């Protein structure tokens, strides 16, 4: 089942070429300065980003995530975070909640983010830049998966591109949007926590039989028709009282899967459970299939009809 292809943006020039060779100390200084911008939340304030600094950070992130596997192996314990959708205040609140004594957990915990960092909320740029900053500073502690909104054909229409146009002149906004999506195309698609918990943004599909099926997915993925399994990992949904797989008519992409598919996959792969995001949960989480699957959603007061 194929997803729509990403639109081809007008040619506004290629992204900046490789930077001159930098020392580790120089890169560390750049990363620390960028991270410092995200250590505190100032209510309602946009962070003042310069396009030039974002070019450097995006290029560094592309180098980092393109070297990662399609299936991450993440040790326990870790904090698993669902959709964020541009809600920067809530991202910081989550860091405080997972910290100690009022201190942010960002420097003391391991995190696994399940995607959908951008769109709909007012601060997509802050959210994705904050996570990029922490990933560059603590690459083994911050694990970022791809969500279905980390795709050009989605985030051009649901808020992220418009936010960039509101904050930069149009040629710069277009270039930044293309560069961010170049990174998104390389993001890992799933993670295995403690060898027992399989995590992804969307769900499972008929082409997922072994963990090597995920490991063997080639990235970057620009169009969902490049990999049906990747599409399912980003887009699939569980449905109560369903047996097997059926076309996901609500999304128009991927499949819906039943409880029997979850039980069979957990048994075959010796998994304790599956953790995914992708659907709004009023309490922040919801169980499925006798607690063999849980949906995690980390954007409180989320408005699915809102496009910023």
User: Which residue, among 71, 7, 82, has the nearest Cα to 233 in the 3D structure?
Assistant: 71
Catalytic-role residue among 123, 149, 201, 278:
149
Rounded-to-integer distance, Cα 268 and Cα 231, Å: 22
Which residue is associated with the tokens 């059926």?
Answer: 246
Beta bridge partner(s), residue 296: 285
- Known active-site residue 278: no
Whether residue 134 is preceded by a cis peptide bond, meaning omega within 30 degrees of 0, is no
Catalytic residue IDs: 149
């Amino acid at each position: 089942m194929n997803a729509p292809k990403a639109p081809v943006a007008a040619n506004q020039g290629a992204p900046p070429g490789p930077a001159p060779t930098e020392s580790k100390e120089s890169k560390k200084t750049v990363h620390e300065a960028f991270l410092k911008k995200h250590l505190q939340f100032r209510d309602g304030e946009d962070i003042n980003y310069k396009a030039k600094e974002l070019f450097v950070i995006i290029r560094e992130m592309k180098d980092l995530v393109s070297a990662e596997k399609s299936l991450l192996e993440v040790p326990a314990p870790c904090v698993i975070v669902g959709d964020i959708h541009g809600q920067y205040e809530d991202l910081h609140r989550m860091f405080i909640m997972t910290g100690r004594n009022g201190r942010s957990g960002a420097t003391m915990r391991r995190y696994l983010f399940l995607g959908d960092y951008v769109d709909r909320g007012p601060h997509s740029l802050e959210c994705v830049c904050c996570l990029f900053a922490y990933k560059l500073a603590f690459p083994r502690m911050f694990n970022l998966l791809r969500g279905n909104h980390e795709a050009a054909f989605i985030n051009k229409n649901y808020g992220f591109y418009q936010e960039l146009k509101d904050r930069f002149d149009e040629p710069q906004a277009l270039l930044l949007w293309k560069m961010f999506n170049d990174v998104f195309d390389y993001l890992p698609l799933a993670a295995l926590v403690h060898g027992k918990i399989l995590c992804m943004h969307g769900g499972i599909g008929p082409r997922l039989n072994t963990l090597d099926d995920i490991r063997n997915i080639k990235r970057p993925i620009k169009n969902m028709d490049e990999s049906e399994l990747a599409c399912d990992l980003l887009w699939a949904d569980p449905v109560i009282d369903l047996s097997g797989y059926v076309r996901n008519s609500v999304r128009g992409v991927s499949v819906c899967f039943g409880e029997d598919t979850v039980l069979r996959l957990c048994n075959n792969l010796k998994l304790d459970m599956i953790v995914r995001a992708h659907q709004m949960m009023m309490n922040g989480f919801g169980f499925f299939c006798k607690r063999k699957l849980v949906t995690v959603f980390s954007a409180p007061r989320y408005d699915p009809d809102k496009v910023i």
